[in-house]
Amino acid sequence: MVRLTLKHLMVGALLAGFFNGCTVPAQNAATPAVRRLSSSQEVRPVPSEDFQTPTDEQIQLLRKDIRAQRKQLIAANMKLSGAEAEKFWPIYEAYVDELVTINRTKYDLLKQYAAGYDTMTDQEAQASVGRWVSVDESVAQLRLKYIPIFRKVLSARNTALFFQLDRRIQLMIDLQLVSQLPLIEP
């Protein structure tokens, strides 16, 4: 049996569909995404002129793939007995349903940002930061809500393992998504 690991998530196939058909600027020594200035070591973004906003269809395909991959990774890395699995998966599905609602807001923010990052006003930038922090808080609150719920059906160690896996998977997904977006110019 092949054991899936979190490293499998990093395989480009998972998120390649997100930008399939979108032109993302090539990264090479001549056109780096980030330029380091030698004297002050300041990091500045390089504008991304070829960036195109992903379509709603691309985002929906991405979200479907993420949910399937997430469940596979959780199943492969959690060592659940039959009795634990029977109780765990319905709770997991309820958790994911609530997470999907929060992530819908996240993807909407990504689309809004991608569509207007180059014309964003200071007020829009400030509001955007507030919305991002609000989404992060919502995810943290959801996890806090579900800790005792998962704990009722899992050991403390398996509960901790689940939330470690969940957090790592989400961090890798978020990093992959936002690394494709151009940085806002100061």
The alpha carbon of 9 is separated from its chain's Cα centroid by a whole number of angstroms, namely 11
Is residue 94 assigned to a domain? yes
Convert the pLDDT of each residue in 151-164 to its tens digit.
Answer: 999 999 999 999 99
Domain count, the chain: 1
User: Is residue 97, in this structure, part of any structural domain at all?
Assistant: yes
The residues near 74 (Cβ < 8 Å, ≥ 6 apart) are 92, 162, 165, 166, 169
143 lies in which domain range?
6-22+52-179
Angstrom distance (rounded) from CA 75 to CA 121:
44
CB 137 within 8 A of CB 105: no
Below-70 pLDDT ranges, the chain: 1-65, 67
Domain assignment present for 185: no
Phi, psi of 149 (to 5 degrees): -70, -45
Spatial CB neighbours of 116, under 8 Å, sequence gap ≥ 6: 124
Q: Tell which residue, 62, 66, 70, 65, has the closest CA to residue 92.
A: 70
> What per-residue confidence (pLDDT) applies to 39?
45
Say if 81 falls within a structural domain: yes
pTM: predicted TM-score of the whole model, two decimal places: 0.68
Cα four-point dihedral sign 123, 127, 132, 136: positive
Euclidean distance between CA atoms 149 and 176, whole angstroms: 30
Residue 32 domain-assigned (yes or no): no
Q: What is the pLDDT of residue 69?
A: 83
Distances (CA, A) of 184 to 44, 122, 126, 155: 10, 11, 12, 44
DSSP state of 22: S
pLDDT attached to residue 111: 85
Per-residue model confidence (pLDDT) at position 56: 65
In a domain, 58, yes or no: yes
Note the pLDDT of residue 122.
92
